[in-house]
Amino acid sequence: MRNFEHLQSACYEANMQLPALGLVVYTFGNVSVVDRELELFAIKPSGVPYESLRAEDIVVVDFDNNVVSGQMRPSSDTKTHAFLYKHWTHIGGICHTHSTYAVSWAQAQRDIPNFGTTHADHLTPDIPCAPPMSDELIQGDYEYNTGQQILDCFEEKGLSYREVEMVLLGNHGPFTWGKDAAKAVYNSKVLEEIARMAYLTLQINPQAARLKPALIQKHYERKHGKDAYYGQ
């Protein structure tokens, strides 16, 4: 019997960061970790409170959503994770939460404007909000179609998932991803903070202007450009 302890351990540690970072209450969230060579990923079991979650509870599934290892049902969002892993081959981890400020922007069905350098340090465009899912897709394979909803949003807005590692789903909430699960969780926390800052900005000044393009580019390039000089 194959041992998936490396996947389960990485997935467990990433999931436990969500309550530690204040990104979830009760069971409102999940993180998955992929192994591209095995074409398998590990994900939190459905409805299990974080305080009772154990590494051995983590469920391992294939890209067709078949359980390969684990005694529990995987997260109800598993088909969304599988869809994104299939279509976006450079991501290694995915995170979904119902964090307060990110969800609030999603429920308002609004992109989060790039108001400042904190936002620009991580991505240059506004954080996209996908339109609410159509009735036809809701009545179909809902979780699979959530993945399609994300893909369609990026195609329609001309965005790269390798630069923009986060999205809001209209009336639902945020998904983030990254090179590994730790980066996906990091992006989830960054998204929540940017969403909070943008909300407060509009409370102070409802006519607040977006950051000017030169400053957006400067802050993004100093961290991510070919001549990046931020950090050690």
CA dist 68 and 59 (Å) reads 8
Which string of DSSP letters, residue by residue, matches 180-193?
Answer: SHHHHHHHHHHHHH
Q: Which of 121, 142, 152, 199 is catalytic?
A: 121
Handedness of CA 162, 172, 43, 18 (dihedral sign): positive
**What is the distance between the alpha carbons of residues 104 and 113, in angstroms, rounded to a whole number?**
14
Residue 27 neighbours by CB under 8 Å, 6+ apart:
47, 48, 49, 50
Query: Which pair of structure tokens corresponds to residue 141?
Result: 């394979």
Q: Which of 26, 62, 141, 230 is catalytic?
A: 230
Rounded CA gap, 40 and 55, in Å? Answer: 17
Residue type, 86: K
Burial environment of residue 29 by CB neighbours within 10 A (0 to 12, 13 to 18, 19 or more) = buried
3-state secondary structure of 34: strand
Active site residue 121: yes
Residues taking part in catalysis:
121, 230
